[in-house]
Structure 1
């Protein structure tokens, strides 16, 4: 999971439990998401990369650049 890219479908930020769709197993699956930087807010539609995975369905994400 770490290193996979996804897209924010529910705002991610301080005090929020966001949601991201991540490409896995030939499709896309929803995961609960928190920001890797606890002060960062990531808007819906923003491409992200998974930096930490906590099974079964929680990820920590950062903005995907470039």
Structure 2
């Protein structure tokens, strides 16, 4: 999962549990994950392209903006 890319579908930010749709390698599609910002205090709006920095099974990821 680390290094996978996706898009924010529910605002990610301080004090929020956001949502992202992430392309899951080997499964041929995208799946929803609960998301937190990889950088404390950072906010990511819906539509922002992101990369998974950390994965905590079963469905939680920490994400950073894709540059």
How far did residue 7 of structure 1 move? 0.1
Deviating beyond 4 angstroms after TM superposition, the runs of 4 or more aligned structure 1 residues are none
Structure 1: gaps (5+ residues): none
Structure-1 residue corresponding to 2:57 = 55
Structure 2: gaps (5+ residues): none
Normalising by structure 1, we get a TM-score of 0.97
Structure-2 residue corresponding to 1:16 = 16
State the Cα RMSD in Å.
Answer: 0.4
Q: Of 48, 52, 57, which aligns to 1:46?
A: 48
